[in-house]
Copies of this chain bind each other. A is one copy, B any other.
Amino acid sequence: MEKTNIAIVGLGTVGSGVARLLLDHGDRTARHAGRTLWLRKAVARDLAKAAARIDLPEGVLTDSIDEVVNDPEITVVAQLIGGLEPARSIMLRLLESGKDIVTANKALLAEHGPELFDRARQLGRSIAFEASVAGGIPIIANISQCLSANQLQSLEGILNGTSNFIVSQMDEFGSNYEEVVKTAQELGYAEADPTMDVDGTDAAQKLAILAHLAFGATVDWNDIPKVGIDGLDPVDLRYARELGYRIKLLAVANLTDDGLELSVSPTLLKIGTPLAEVRNAFNAIRAIGDAVGPVFFHGLGAGQMPTASAVVADLIDTAVGRTKLTFQTLEYFSSDNPPRAILRDAETLRGRFYLRLHVANHPGTLAAIANVLAKHAISIASVIQHESETARGEMELVPLVIMTHQATEGAAKLATSEIEALPAVQGVVTRFRVKE
Interface set of A (CB-CB < 8 Å, partner B)? 17, 21, 25, 28-29, 32-34, 130, 136-138, 141-142, 144-151, 272, 274, 277, 289-300, 303, 305-306, 308-313, 316-317, 320-322, 325-326, 328-330
Contact = CB atoms under 8 A, between A and B. Distances in A.
Contacts of A303: 293
Contacts of A316: 145, 148-149
A322 B313 contact: no
Contacts of A292: 136, 299-300, 305-306, 309-310
Contacts of A300: 292-294
A326 B34 CA distance: 9
B293 A295 contact: no
Given A29-B149, A34-B329, A141-B146, A295 B295 contact: no
A297 B272 CA distance: 17
B329 A150 contact: no
Contacts of A309: 147, 149-150, 289, 291-292
B322 A326 contact: yes
A138 B147 contact: yes
A293 B289 contact: no
A80 to B, nearest CB: 14
Contacts of A313: 145-149
A107 B148 CA distance: 25
Nearest to A151: B28
Contact of A21 (B291, B306, B312, B328): B291
A148 B325 contact: no
Specify how many copies of this chain sit in the oligomer.
2
B320 A306 contact: no
A138 B149 contact: no
Contacts of A136: 289, 291-293, 295
A309 B293 CA distance: 9
27 contacts: A28-B151, A32-B148, A32-B329, A34-B329, A138-B142, A138-B147, A141-B142, A145-B316, A145-B322, A146-B313, A148-B313, A149-B310, A149-B313, A150-B309, A274-B277, A274-B298, A289-B309, A290-B305, A292-B299, A292-B300, A292-B309, A293-B300, A293-B306, A294-B299, A296-B296, A296-B299, A298-B298
Nearest to A315: B149
Contacts of A137: 295
A81 to B, nearest CB: 20
A299 B150 CA distance: 14
Contacts of A141: 141-142, 145-146
Contacts of A148: 29, 32-33, 312-313, 316
A145 to B, nearest CB: 7
Residue among A141, A296, A321 having the largest count of chain B Cβ atoms under 10 Å = A296
Contact of A145 (B28, B151, B272, B317): B317
A291 to B, nearest CB: 4
A409 to B, nearest CB: 30
Closest 6 CB pairs of A and B: A138-B146, A149-B312, A34-B329, A291-B309, A136-B292, A296-B298
A29 B137 CA distance: 24
A145 B140 CA distance: 12
Contacts of A151: 25, 28
Given A293-B303, A293-B306, 12 more contacts: A17-B291, A21-B291, A138-B142, A142-B142, A147-B313, A148-B316, A291-B306, A292-B300, A294-B300, A295-B298, A295-B299, A320-B329
